[in-house]
Amino acid sequence: MKTNTVCPQQAFCEKTLPFQGDPLLYAGLFAESGLAEDYLVYERGGEWFLGFGVAARLRFNVQTTTLEAGEQVFSWPSGSAADSVDQALRSLPLDRWRVYGIAHFELARHTYQLDATGPAHDLLQLFVPAYEVHLKDNWASLRAMEGEPFQRLVDLFASIQQEVVRDNGRSQRVMNLEERIRTRRLAVPDMRTCNTEVYGQAVTEAVREISSRNYKKVILSRAIPLARPIDMPASYVAGRRPNTPARSYLLKLDGLQACGFSPETVLEADADGWVSTRPLAGTRSMGDNEEEECRLRDELLNDTKEVHEHAVSVQLAFAELCKVCRHGSVCVNDFMSVSRRNSVQHLASRLKGQLANGYTAWHAFDALFPAVTATGIPKKESLAAIARMEPCPRGLYAGCVMVADHTGALDAALVLRSVYQQEQQAWMQVGAGIVEKSTPEREIEETCEKISSVSRYLVHA
């Protein structure tokens, strides 16, 4: 039986053990364990990354970039997000690190040199976890500070594995989680009427501005307040089971909580310098049966408004990758396929390129963020329109949840199809792409179709 233990110079220990059972249950039980106040769970293509507690933290805002590592605190004036983050990560006094984090949508205003909206706050935050669990291919890699912290993590993992596997899901903690999912489903507001009047007026104004050639496309969103606090771990487990996301996440950072099922990535970068992005634009419901799904898919593929909306998004993503990639390496290796995402189906494409000399994954992130499918075209003009037409800053909505490591790899999921909670206020947020042929009625319908992949599975606290 394979068991591998390594203790690097920075006094972190690692151990690799076999694991069995549903990794989703492991994620939910770890989140409820009280192991640490702050945490982030990230699912990517069969891999699960669970980071708890903070061994080092990077904060980026418009004025200052700060790196806290143990008792050491370093700060310097912020430049571009790419250069500032890259500099900070190169300074980490830790071996073979992996960072977890978030980027708020308003980071884009810094990138495009627009005035900030709302009070100053961190635009991007990354942390090296004090406790980390990586689940892949029936193996679990555990990492924590040597001594009592590491033993605590090993013991907790063994306890959860026993509850998930040996007790066959009949342990008190598992049964409690399942009971909450069954009995505490949240009744959500009627999304066909909640804030739709103001949203419809914004859509009409955006169509007028697009007709005046102020910009080509803008994504406008509306918030849906929820009447009760959310049980985030239970909502995550309940929602992930029926969903088919590109990425999923569950987090609690500085009091902000969120869980979601991202339909697309903003950036996927590997250790060899290859980067890709997968924009989704153009939407139809999945329908109530296979026949209706096929009919709606054909309608989507032949709708000139939806096809145009998708094509211009791909065109912009191509131009953005060309800014940081080796000449001639950028290609579209999947164009306008249909991606099924629980309650909706989207037109999807994938673009790929190889980073040019002198550029890192963070430069590619800077070029692609915010996602064109959550902003508009051109981005600067659409960012200005969003600030005018939406009543509040977006925060994490339409930003990113991400994982990166010392090899140069970076994976950033677009934050959509999510629920958010802070200071006992809970809400969902959902948007639609507005082009010249848009109508308020259709865009409201589209937002309802999209958010049902979250709203149907919420569990109240």
Active site members: 264
Kind and range of the H or E element at 174? helix 172-183
Residue 82 near residue 360, CB atoms below 8 Å: yes
DSSP labels, 334-354 = EEEEEEEETTEEEEEEEEEEE
- According to DSSP, the residues that pair with 209 across neighbouring strands are none
Residue 74 near residue 91, CB atoms below 8 Å: yes
Buried b (16+ CB within 10 A) or exposed e, 270-304: eeebebbbbbbbbbbbbbeeeeebeebbeebbebe
- According to DSSP, the residues that pair with 220 across neighbouring strands are 432
Q: How far is CA 42 from CA 52, 135, 385, 405, in A?
A: 12, 11, 32, 14
Residue type, 218: V
**Residue reference for tokens 């990166």:** 404
Residue from 47, 52, 14, 53 nearest 30 by CA: 52
Task: Give the count of beta carbons closer than 10 Å to the beta carbon of residue 17.
Answer: 17
Token pair recorded at residue 241:
């089971």
* Close Cβ partners of 89 (under 8 Å, ≥ 6 residues apart): 58, 97, 99, 126, 404
Which segments within 23-138 are labelled E, that is strand? 39-44, 47-52, 56-60, 64-69, 72-77, 98-103, 124-128, 131-136
Q: What is the DSSP letter of 374?
A: G
Residue 266 near residue 321, CB atoms below 8 Å: no
Residue 161 near residue 20, CB atoms below 8 Å: yes
- Ramachandran category for residue 94: left, alpha or beta (phi over 0 → left; psi -120 to 50 → alpha): beta
